[in-house]
Structure 1
Amino acid sequence: MGDRSTREVHSEYSLLTSCSFPLTVRRGQSKAEEEESLMDCHWHPEAEWFFVMEGELLFQVDTECFRVAAGEAVFLDGGEVHAAYSISGTACAYCSIVFNPSMLTCSIPDLIEQTIVSPLQQRKRTFPRHVKGIHPWEQQIVHFIRLIMEADESKNTCYEAAIKGYLFLMLPILAADGCSVNRSQPQPAEQDKMLRLKQVIQHMQLHYTRTIRSAELAELVRMSEGQFCRFFKSMTRKTPIEYLNAYRVMRAAELLRGSSRKISDIAADVGFDHNSYFVRVFRKATGYSPTQFRKAAIGTSGE
């Protein structure tokens, strides 16, 4: 499928696909003719390495925004709200490695778990946010990220063992002086903002199949409707209805891929009252009509 649909439907809201190997590698790209969202604000309980393979993009973690260029990586602790945006006129390609740090623990707790893995899980000794590949230890991390990507792409026999090994090889870096940070105690004001945002987004995800108005969302976080809309736009770069519709489109795309049901039924199931409005919103988000998207998805799955 084309770049645009790959970009817009990419999502990490769902849990990891496998409990037996709790790690997922996803790739995305954008031609970026204009600035737009590559991944809407979201979070997940797992940790993540986000790596830019080509170009440059704008990355957001909680309330912080910064540029990430090719060859650079971002580390996310579980539960952190994050998003990615294209930069006008700059094409990019990126990869996310989402994993549960518990996969690095063992049945019999040892010194490694006590001194490195547990502090990583607790955010007391975690990886720096932005790894630019300048220092030798940063270059090591980028090297291991590339090896994980290669192993995942090859899917050779026991490739999972190789990936897990590369994650383990990153751990000694945390033990070196100046190569780790403590993010276990966030600023109260920032934490309050993120809790409010999460509360609203969770409400959208639970009730997206019905009509949701801004006033309802504002009441959840005890704000006036105007104050809430300004707050939400400042945090997500979208209005509440734009964000909600993007989530509905994502859910519709999943249904289009996995069923042969009528387009109008799918539109109604994800919260759109009018099929024509659904088609217009879906086309704007993905570059395809729902019918074209379904055909392209079927063609891709059959390759």
Structure 2
Amino acid sequence: MKKHQGYESQDSNGKFVTKDLKEKIQHGDKQFRMSVYKTYVPSFSNLVLYSHWNEELEFLIIEEGSAQFYIGQEKIKISSGDVLIIPPNMLHSASRVDQGEIVFYAVLVHYNFLSSFENDIIQSKYVSSLFLQQRQYPSVIPKDKDSQMGLFSVLKEIIHVYWNKPAGYELKIKAMLFDILFRLEVCAKDIDTGMGRARGSHHSLLAIKLLAFIQENYSKRISLNDMANQVNMNPSYFCRFVKKQFDLTPLELLNQHRLLEAVNLLETSDKKVVEISNLTGFSNVNRFTETFKKAYGYTPTHYRNNILDCSCKYLGGTC
């Protein structure tokens, strides 16, 4: 996966997230607390977006392809033309649902960017309540429903203005963001049926705790009970919790993180496959190879020797 305009590449070693999975990158600066990013996911990358959370309100639009997003306890499939709204402080991630390249843009907005010194009705009724999650909008605005709202086109204009920075662009961006909130306020209730709202702050915190434990201990032998104990659940309920939160079994969740670590080592080191297998917590190299091939369609050796050679395709070169 390649990301532009300052957004981090796929993280597999904690470089861009803290132990509790909060994103480390500051979006914008103290004078202008918003930012825009473009993400390109090549066809051979299974993971679209790693699990993390950030303080900002996030608007995301899909330009090409489709992906399965997990926001809190919600599982949402979005495709080209759809608009996704991710509340502040909500754990979220994404995976692919079919083959092909995926391109999406993210607009992240900090509370301080929209807030004012005066606690007027705009501040209290709309801005503060939105960031405190007391005011919620649908998690996704599908392309066919957006025809009456026009959010996709406004977000595209924000992206254009942000990157081109004409005179007074700061005013334009702030005005367009308030325009988005106005459109949501006017139209969201009419198109809310069946669209869902991001929910599950408590479960999101438990998921963050679990993922932090996996991130710290993936190289060790971890049992089902070990993971369940981290969130004070019995194993049976824990399995249902993980399935609902991530659409994976606990073992699949653990192996997903181990595979991300393995891919990172394959890409950035000359360590042998058997050594990488040991470093990422797999019981033996055969198990590692089997799990890797099931997830990526290639053995670790083939991935290193052949697939990585084609990464130049999405870095601007040719294979």
- Give your verdict on TM over 0.5: yes
Quick one: which of 256, 266, 281 aligns to 1:246? Answer: 256
SS in 2 for 1:79: coil
Distance 1:56 1:37 in 2: 12
Deviation at residue 95 of structure 1 after TM alignment: 1.6
Quick one: which of 203, 207, 227 aligns to 1:217? Answer: 227
Deviation at residue 121 of structure 1 after TM alignment: 1.5
Kindly, what percent of the aligned residue pairs are identical?
22
Distance 1:74 1:47 in 2: 11
Distance 1:222 1:250 in 2: 26
Are the aligned partners of 2:126 and 2:135 in contact in 1 as well (CA < 8 Å)? yes
Counterpart for residue 195 of structure 2: none
SS in 1 for 2:150: helix
Are the aligned partners of 2:154 and 2:180 in contact in 1 as well (CA < 8 Å)? yes
Deviation at residue 270 of structure 1 after TM alignment: 3.9
Q: Which amino acid aligns with 2:58?
A: E
Q: Which amino acid aligns with 1:129?
A: S
SS in 2 for 1:139: coil
Deviation at residue 255 of structure 1 after TM alignment: 4.8
Deviation at residue 216 of structure 1 after TM alignment: 0.4
Deviation at residue 302 of structure 1 after TM alignment: 7.4
Q: Which amino acid aligns with 1:16?
A: I
Are the aligned partners of 1:116 and 1:175 in contact in 2 as well (CA < 8 Å)? no
Counterpart for residue 39 of structure 2: 27
Are the aligned partners of 2:40 and 2:104 in contact in 1 as well (CA < 8 Å)? yes
Change (3 A) 1:200 1:133: same
Change (3 A) 1:193 1:119: closer
Once the two structures are superposed, what CA deviation does each residue of 1:87-116 show, in whole Å capped at 9, x if it has no partner?
56x867452415242351468557554554
Counterpart for residue 110 of structure 2: 101
Are the aligned partners of 2:61 and 2:104 in contact in 1 as well (CA < 8 Å)? yes
Counterpart for residue 201 of structure 1: 211
Q: Are positions 1:145 and 2:155 aligned together?
A: yes
Distance 2:248 2:69 in 1: 15
Deviation at residue 247 of structure 1 after TM alignment: 1.8
Change (3 A) 1:131 1:177: closer
> Which segment drifts farther, 47-56 or 211-220?
47-56
Are the aligned partners of 2:40 and 2:103 in contact in 1 as well (CA < 8 Å)? yes
Once the two structures are superposed, what CA deviation does each residue of 1:152-184 show, in whole Å capped at 9, x if it has no partner?
7xx445698476664344244356486699xxx
Within 5 A, what are the aligned runs for 1:62-211? 62-84=72-94, 86-87=96-97, 93-97=102-106, 99-102=108-111, 104-105=113-114, 108=117, 111=120, 113-133=123-143, 139-150=149-160, 155-156=163-164, 161=170, 166-173=176-183, 176=186, 192-211=202-221
Deviation at residue 148 of structure 1 after TM alignment: 3.9
Change (3 A) 1:136 1:107: closer
Change (3 A) 1:131 1:51: same
Deviation at residue 80 of structure 1 after TM alignment: 2.5
> Which segment drifts farther, 44-53 or 267-276?
267-276
Quick one: which of 290, 293, 297 aligns to 2:304? Answer: 290
How many residue pairs are counted as aligned between the two chains?
A: 286
SS in 1 for 2:61: strand
Distance 1:137 1:240 in 2: 40
> Which segment drifts farther, 70-79 or 111-120?
111-120
Task: Provide TM-score, normalisation by structure 1.
Answer: 0.68
Change (3 A) 1:276 1:217: same
Are the aligned partners of 2:42 and 2:314 in contact in 1 as well (CA < 8 Å)? no
Distance 2:315 2:289 in 1: 23
Cα RMSD of the aligned pairs, angstroms, is 4.5
Change (3 A) 1:216 1:126: same
**Structure 2 segments unaligned to the other structure (5+ residues):** 3-9, 193-197
Distance 1:177 1:142 in 2: 14
Deviation at residue 77 of structure 1 after TM alignment: 0.4
